[in-house]
Structure 1
Amino acid sequence: MTNGRCRMHGGKSPGAPTGNDNARKHGLYTADAISERRELAALLRSMRGIIEEMEG
């Protein structure tokens, strides 16, 4: 708002806190982790294909 106050709650709105230490602490969404999961999924798909060929 133009007066710097929230029209619904009346408080100032400084935005999100800077330097959020809790964000992405576990590393689940790092590029390395994503590529590793994709490689594992591709390996599992190929193994399932091999098993299906052996059964059929």
Structure 2
Amino acid sequence: MHHSPRCGARTRSGISCCSPAMPNGRCRMHGGASPGAPKGPRNGMYRHGRYTAEAVATRRELREWLRLIRQVAEGVG
């Protein structure tokens, strides 16, 4: 255990993590993002529809349009 490879990820205090690494090169705390909850109606995401992929994409597109409008308005005024 003492000679096993170490994780090496940066901790919040700024030093390297000293926990033993898993096969992916990081420890159990710094192993990376989880795949998340299941997609679709199995997870209850259609209760109100706010977080569906289509709704999120629409909001992103609207935000981009607003950014462009603000840039144009600043350039004119």
TM-score for both structures, normalised by structure 1: 0.56
How many angstroms apart in 2 are the aligned matches of 1:31 and 1:40?
Answer: 14
How many angstroms apart in 2 are the aligned matches of 1:37 and 1:31?
Answer: 10
Alignment of 1:28 with 2:43, yes or no, is: no
Alignment of 1:52 with 2:74, yes or no, is: yes
TM-score for both structures, normalised by structure 2: 0.41
Structure richer in helix, relative to its length: 1
Q: 1:6-45 to 2 correspondence within 5 Å? A: 23-24=44-45, 25-45=47-67
How many angstroms apart in 2 are the aligned matches of 1:48 and 1:28?
Answer: 25
Q: 4+ runs of 1 displaced by more than 3 Å? A: none
Which residue number in structure 2 is paired with residue 12 of structure 1? none
Q: How far off is 1:36 after superposition?
A: 0.0
% identity of equivalent residues:
42
Give 5+ residue unaligned stretches, structure 2.
1-43
Q: How far off is 1:26 after superposition?
A: 0.4
Quote the RMSD (CA, aligned, Å).
Answer: 2.0
Give the greater-gyration-radius structure (CA).
1
Greater relative contact order (Cα < 8 A, sep 6+)? 2
Cα deviation 1:15-54 (Å, max 9, x = unaligned): xxxxxxxx33101000000000000000000000000000
